[in-house]
Amino acid sequence: MRKSAAFLFLFLFLQVFFACQIPTAIEIKGTPSIRFAEEVDIGKMFTDLLKDAINKDEKLTIIPCPETEIITYLIHAELFNKEFEAVEHEDDIGYLDFPGMELLPGDIGVELITDKILIDGSEDRMTLPLSEIGSLLEGFVFCDGYNDDDDDKDGGYKTKLYFSNTNTNSGLIEKSRVKIKIEEMEEIEEEDDENSENGEKKYKYNIINDINNIQILNHCSDIEKWKEHNEYDGEFCPSDGVEIDVPITGKDIAISFIVYIPAGETINLNDFDEGNMNVEVVIWLPFKFIAIGEKAELSFPDGSFFNSDDDLFGREEPDSENLIADIIESISVDVTFENNPFNGAELVISSKGVTIQNPINDTLSFTITEDNMKKINEPANWPFIPDIKIGFKQGDTLSFPKKFNAIEFAFKAKVRYRKDFF
């Protein structure tokens, strides 16, 4: 074996030595490709943002809905939950442990002339944190389900209000009314504000709905059951409770309320027997969106595919030499989804000085052309940090299927490398 190798080496050496023309360079050309299967849960990238935001507030609970065809959650908000002891004498009525109580002993047993507040939650806003999701869906809003057929499994969001009292002999629920105020939260940027320096955000509250005189039957949600099983096994929004219109656009929403007894009602002492009063809001929230703007784009969370701080080709400086960037003339990428919600949309990849657009069909595909690579290699366009977005037309709907996974990746590169010896 060693003799054969020695003869081969000697043969090649003599061929080069006695050749009429000695090689002055080496050149490599080709289009290597690689294809591999890997399951990447795209939906989880988005749902984790919502779950993390919800879990920061102990009054909020998020419950998955495994029986639906698209990703759906129930969000439960506990606005008020308090036990109270029986009132034995009307002189004690003013000492009931209800925030905002305005009832007086003289109000017992007589018809009320004016509305009387029972629970005042007007200053205790509950925040529904949707801005983390909304910031990735420019020009989109959540689809509402108020006009959908009951048989429409892909219907949009709905909001239910529950008002209950464990003492079924009490007439408070029947006599009470609820007022709900819904506000959209707009962050205020103040450079010199002390709260901003401490990391505290300030908001402006814009009223988007104010609902008065809501009458509710004595119903509570099944939140304890949902928590125990860590799921809601229905295919549709829970049927009990009262529907209220809470427009969900993708910004943070603040909800506040007042429970009052309207003028004309008569309050009796036994209405305040021992019990537990509970005010709840439950939001049925499918991940279904509609493009309302002329420019509607879905972005991906930072770091989903690339490090958002570094040049994709590893160049540390604008003029850095980089073998990978030098030898690659073009790159083609194909991503196959288990269920593709982007069919018919447009892929837009942008970085400093470089924009790549491509329609999306069965796969998500794009090519960094030779012209693109020349632009990427220009020092003025360093660093190359791709910002990936999916563009939609006005009126398009986007639903996140239950299985929203990328399952196969294919890469093909056109390479050319030349090394001069002299």
For residue range 167-208, list pLDDT tens digits in order.
Answer: 887 888 889 999 999 999 988 876 655 555 566 778 899 999
Nearest C-alpha neighbor of 392 from the set 299, 286, 264, 260: 299
Can you give the residue range of the structural domain that contains 401?
A: 25-42+295-420
Whole-angstrom distance, CA of residue 331 vs CA of residue 354 = 14
Does residue 231 sit in the same domain as residue 261?
yes
**pLDDT mean over 281-303:** 91
Residues 6+ apart with CB under 8 A from 151: none
Whole-angstrom distance, CA of residue 99 vs CA of residue 121 = 7
What's the domain count of the chain?
Answer: 2
Measured CA angle at 292 (ends 289, 294), to 5 deg? 125
- With cut-offs at 50, 70 and 90, classify the pLDDT of residue 319: confident
Of 253, 273, 291, which residue is a domain's last?
291
Question: What confidence tens digit (pLDDT) does each residue in 71-116 have?
Answer: 999 999 999 998 888 777 777 766 666 667 777 777 888 899 999 8
Whole-angstrom distance, CA of residue 257 vs CA of residue 211 = 9
H or E element in which residue 134 lies: helix 131-134
Nearest C-alpha neighbor of 208 from the set 173, 241, 254: 254
8 Å CB contact between 400 and 46: yes
Position 10 pLDDT exceeds 60:
no
Radius of gyration of the chain (CA): 32
Does residue 210 sit in the same domain as residue 321?
no
Classify 93 as helix, strand or coil. Answer: helix
Does residue 53 sit in the same domain as residue 168?
yes
Classify 376 as helix, strand or coil. Answer: helix
| Threshold 0.75, pTM exceeds | yes
More confidently predicted of 149 and 250: 250
- With cut-offs at 50, 70 and 90, classify the pLDDT of residue 25: low
Does residue 381 sit in the same domain as residue 279?
no
Q: Which residues of 236-272 are buried (b: 16+ CB within 10 A; e: fewer)?
A: bbbeebbebebebbbbbbbbbbbbbbeeebebebebb
